[in-house]
Amino acid sequence: MKIKDRYAPSPTGLQHIGGVRTALFNYLFAKSLGGTFVLRLEDTDRARFDTKFVQNLYDTFRWLGLQWDEGPDNGGPAAPYIQSERLGLYRRHAQELAGAGNAYYCFCSPQRLAALREAQGAEAGYDRRCRNMGRGEQEALEARGEVPVLRLKIPLEEGAATVFRDRLLGTVTWKNADINSDPVLLKSDGFPTYHLANVVDDHLMGITHVLRAQEWLPSTPVHVIMYRAFGWEPPEFCHLPMVMGPDGKKLSKRHGATSIDEFRRQGYLPEALINYVALLGASYEEGKDMYTLAELAARFSIDKLNKAPAVFDYKKLEWYNSRYIRGKTDGELARLALPWAREAGLFGAQGAEPAEAQYAAFSSAMPLIRERVSSLREIPGKIRYLFAEPDLPPAADFIPKKKDLAETVRLLSIGRGFIAAIGPASDREAEDLAKEQAGKAGVALGDLMTPLRAALTGSKVSPPLFGSIRILGRERSLARVDRALRFLNG
């Protein structure tokens, strides 16, 4: 059997971790078996639909590097792939269900349904008042201009149950009596609900496997009933484990970033997100943490999915991001970090482009911070001192442990001599010279570097000092040391 699965989001919000995990698993499953991955836009919720969410979907998956084989933007044999462009199909199939006695028209007003919910509780279902309405009463209501919805007629024979097999959960038996409503299939405005459009599209598009989050499990008995009413074979279902926050509750904004846009703004790399999200509820190969997208596709298997919910660990994602940052060349990392540097005003005014010399310094600084950051967003703050003279820190930050102010001034003066003598040395040669100077002065190298670091970077902690001196240059470095000496002597 040729495998075909789909990601079918509703463009009513930004793409988030849960949705991307579903899309990724569908992509990996299809690619692992040489199948077809489809994107379908389920845009029938017109009240919440917005074109900006469609654009966000395209931007997100383009950034992540996930490409569907069939979809709204690249077409395919089952086009169109946007549900609002398929309304005629849904109406015809809805009429087919009604004609076969598997669905019925309901004329209950929104006011009556609201009163019913208020009287019986929000969890109460529709009371099926119109289920056995005669044709004469229907015609009378239609003559008054009443526009009905179409509801699926759930089989309610005593003991009736819907049984289906889930690849992850096994055999699922759902009592029809527990489906507390005859769900609406076609709304009064002619648009289908999720249930009708989902089933019709999956069948007509030849979807063989439906991988979706377990929160959709209660919908599956309804869908199976519809498949049987149409006389169609249902696809194979696999309800994926939920993605939870560290507190064991469904991942949400209260836990931190959840939309992919937020992670992008925070400086995460797409490779890191793909790698980490692919591991949420799945395993691949023992003893291996880092995977390319192609490697994930080659190793993905439904049989390696976990039934238990996956916990989203922000610290673990940071670890992945830092690993991928370390793997970038200086040029690659500089290009990736440049938008954050411009936004931070690293080269002058906020948003300013770097001059040629500034970009050269920026690129040269990448080896200094590559192993000290976990996101691209952190980079400008780590190297700002290279582009603008930092504020002088408190005098205490200059003083090494167990030293006093007078000794600190002496050490900084020795450090000044070291910078004046350094010449065009490599970082290793500069370090050797500093060790020699420290030995002559009878002090530890760390003590010699402490006041020098504070003078040059404005901080007790900074990227490697010898590389910083090289990028700053002798004249700028000496000027900062002289400023610090005046400060300490004063």
Q: Which residues are catalytic?
A: 253
Give the containing element (helix H, strand E) for 119: helix 110-120
**Contact by Cβ (8 Å): 193, 44:** yes
**Contact by Cβ (8 Å): 225, 201:** no
Q: What values do phi and psi take at 290, rounded to 5?
A: -100, 125
Cβ-based burial of 424 (10 A; exposed 0-12, middle 13-18, buried ≥19): exposed
Nearest CA to 292 out of 303, 278, 281, 306 is that of 278
- Tell me which residue has tokens 């994107």: 39
Nearest CA to 128 out of 165, 103, 91, 98 is that of 103
Exposure string for 307-336, b = 16+ CB within 10 A, e = fewer? eebbbbeeeebbebbbbbbeebeeeebbeb
| DSSP string computed for 124-168 | -----TTTT--HHHHHHHHHTT---EEEE----STT-EEEEEETT
**Contact by Cβ (8 Å): 424, 433:** no
> Which residues, other chains included, contact 476 with Cβ-Cβ below 8 Å and sequence gap of 6+?
none
Side chain identity at 176, as an amino acid letter? Answer: N
Q: For the chain, how are helix, strand and coil distributed in percent, rounded to 5?
A: 50, 10, 40
- Cα–Cα distance for residue pair 207/203, rounded to 1 Å: 6
Read off the tokens for 175: 């009592």
Sheet holding 170-175, edge to edge: 170-175, 161-166, 236-240, 209-213
- Cα–Cα distance for residue pair 412/416, rounded to 1 Å: 6
- Cα–Cα distance for residue pair 186/339, rounded to 1 Å: 47
